[in-house]
Amino acid sequence: MYESGSHNDKPAQWLGFKLNHKTLYEPINLIIVDTLSTSENASRTLMEKRFGTAGFNARPGHTAAYKGKMDNQDFTQLPDTSSNKAFSNYLWTFTNDHARLFGPYLKDGIYFWIGAASRERGLSHEYVTFKAAEKEFEDKLVKFAAVKRLGCYNLHNTQNNETDTTGDHDGFAVVLQIR
C-alpha cells in the first residue's frame, strides 16, 4: 500500500505512529480473486456487496488517499479515496478491523484485488495487529459471503530493521476467491 500522490511510491505509514520506536508500515495482506464479474464496475460492486454481507461495511472515520500496485500499475482505493472510508466491522471510535482494497486488475478474464487489513484501537487509532485482522476478514468472508480460501501467497513484504517494521505481518497474503 502506497500513499496516493507520492511520485516515488512511498509506502504507507500507520499515521506516523511508531511501534517500539520504529516507523510502522501497512502491508498488503489480502488477495481477492473475482472470476464472476465481467467489468470493472461489476467487480467493484461485487466487492462492496460481499464485504458488506460479511459485516464489513464502508464506514467513515478512516484515512484514505492510498493506492496499490499490481504488475507495475497503480490502482485506486475501494472504498473511494475521497470518502475517508474503509471496510470495517465497527465504527472507528471502537476497536475495529478494517481494510482498503486496490484494483481491479484484469488478467486473463479474471479480476484481482489486493488489500491491507488491520486492527486498531478506537479513538486513538492505535495499531493492534495485522494478522488477526487478516484472519477476521478471511473467516467472515468465507462464512457469510460465498468466498473460498485458496491458500496463502508469500509477497515478501515484511520490514523489520532498526528503523522500520510491519508489525506482526509475516509477509504472506491470504488468497480468497469470490464464488
In a domain, 8, yes or no: no
Q: What band does 1 get if pLDDT is binned at 50, 70 and 90?
A: confident
In a domain, 108, yes or no: yes
- Contact (Cβ atoms closer than 8 angstroms) between residue 50 and residue 82: no
- Contact (Cβ atoms closer than 8 angstroms) between residue 144 and residue 54: yes
Which residues span the domain enclosing 130?
15-178
Residues in the chain: 179
Q: How many domains does the chain have?
A: 1
In a domain, 4, yes or no: no
pTM beyond 0.85: yes
pLDDT at 142: 98
In a domain, 143, yes or no: yes
In a domain, 127, yes or no: yes
Task: Name the burial class of residue 79, with classes exposed (0-12), middle (13-18) and buried (19+) by CB atoms within 10 angstroms of its CB.
Answer: buried
In a domain, 164, yes or no: yes
In a domain, 2, yes or no: no
Q: What is the mean pLDDT of the chain?
A: 92
Q: Over the stretch 124-147, which tens digit does the pLDDT of each residue have?
A: 889 999 999 999 999 999 999 999
